[in-house]
Amino acid sequence: MNVLEKSNSALCHEDIEQQVSGEIDRVTIYRILQGFCDDGKVHKIFGENGKTYYALCHACSAGNHHDTHLHFHCVKCNTVTCMDEQIAAPELSPKYSISSVSCLISGYCPDCQSLLKTICLALLFCFTQLNVLAQHQINVLDKITREPVVFANVYYPDTKTGTYTDANGKFSVNTSNQSLLVQVSSIGYKTFLETLSLQEKNLTIYMEQSAHELQEIIVSDNSSKLQGENVMNVEKLNLANNASIQGISLSEKLSTVAGVDNFTTGAGIGKPVIRGLSGNRIAVFSQGMRIENQQWGDEHGLGLDENGYEQVEIIKGPASLLYGGDALG
């Protein structure tokens, strides 16, 4: 085999492409590989990656059988394949049939061509998925100040998934849908719940400020310390298994404590009086819940059954204001 770098009498690369583009048989392929030489001329087989390869076709007299010797060099994996005796006859070997012509034109061996096809298909699939699952970035801003609402809770009711905004008040969503139901909530703002059209490029959610006044919560300690260690005067009345305490209603039993009287407006109707104050000037709590039924009307008593309580605590003096401004007794 003779391989030369340059020759003036060579079959050009475009001519080979033109001849193999149509429907051809193996005999035609064989003749293309021979290059239609007549007197042992050098023919250009392919040019790839800036380097051109030439093969010398050993010819006898015109019209007789040509024995072509060629070494194929792959520009991808840098391997050299000897094609001697593989293309010497019109009936080509299956290994060097149509794909052999494709190798000579592209400059890649069959293994590299198969690998490149796989890579191209994988990249095509990835780009297709990127187009299907488009990423949308949404801004969450204050409706008045236009400041970003940071770390707001974002929830998608349809998919039951969620996220939160970043330090710039932004969040991203990957979906192929044209619209998406979004719920955004944050402390100090009204909950946002709307269906957004993802066809728009710049999406912004404006949160409306909301102020709520919560009910007052009183935290008290049922202290068991000695009276001398308490900062407020707490008197306890033990009702469990204490037959010495006389009275029909709970208000009458409370009157046994010093400084506490009972105001009666009828049989079984009584209201406690602490230091001369009663009605809405006394705060009554049962199991942490405020009781106010004794404050309205003369015929309304305390409204608590003494049989359901083991102990009653009575706070007198300024410490009672811890339970509200109306607890003056």
Residue 280, domain CATH: 2.170.130.10
Predicted local distance difference test score (pLDDT) of residue 101: 46
Same domain, 192 and 233: no
Range with top average pLDDT, 74-83, 208-217, 287-296: 208-217
Concatenated DSSP letters of 202-245: SEEEEEPB----PPP--------S-GGG-SS-EEEEE-TT-TT-
**Mean pLDDT in the chain?**
66
Q: Number of C-alpha atoms within 13 angstroms, CB side, residue 50?
A: 0
Mean pLDDT value of segment 214-243: 65
8 part of a folded domain: no
Q: What is the pLDDT of residues 58-103, one digit of tens each?
A: 433 333 333 444 444 455 565 555 544 334 333 333 333 334 444 4
127 part of a folded domain: no
Number of domains the chain contains: 3
pLDDT at 146 over 60: yes
Predicted local distance difference test score (pLDDT) of residue 13: 38
197 part of a folded domain: yes
Grouping H, G, I as helix, E, B as strand and the rest as coil, residue 16 is helix
Range with top average pLDDT, 47-51, 55-59, 110-114, 120-124: 120-124
329 part of a folded domain: no
Same domain, 158 and 194: yes
Q: What is the pLDDT of residues 158-176, one digit of tens each?
A: 989 999 999 999 999 888 8
Mean pLDDT value of segment 143-156: 94
Predicted local distance difference test score (pLDDT) of residue 88: 38
Which of 207, 238, 267 is the C-terminal boundary of a domain?
Answer: 207
78 part of a folded domain: yes
CATH number, domain of 183, equals 2.60.40.1120
115 part of a folded domain: no
Stronger pLDDT, 285 or 84, i.e. the higher one: 285
Stronger pLDDT, 219 or 177, i.e. the higher one: 177
Predicted local distance difference test score (pLDDT) of residue 298: 67
Predicted local distance difference test score (pLDDT) of residue 111: 67
- To which residue do tokens 């198969």 refer? 114
Strand 203-207 versus strand 134-142 pairing type: parallel
Confidence of residue 322 (pLDDT cuts 50, 70, 90): confident
Which of 76, 109, 142 is the C-terminal boundary of a domain?
Answer: 109
Percent of the chain at pLDDT exceeding 70: 50
Q: What is the pLDDT of residues 256-283, one digit of tens each?
A: 777 777 777 777 677 778 877 777 777 7
Predicted local distance difference test score (pLDDT) of residue 242: 64
Same domain, 33 and 66: yes
Same domain, 33 and 88: yes
- Return all residues near 321 (Cβ < 8 A) that are at least 6 apart: 327, 328
Predicted local distance difference test score (pLDDT) of residue 178: 85
Domain around 25: 13-109
2 part of a folded domain: no
* Nearest to 308, CA basis, from 281, 286, 292: 286
Same domain, 250 and 307: yes
59 part of a folded domain: yes
- Return all residues near 313 (Cβ < 8 A) that are at least 6 apart: 222, 234, 235, 236, 237
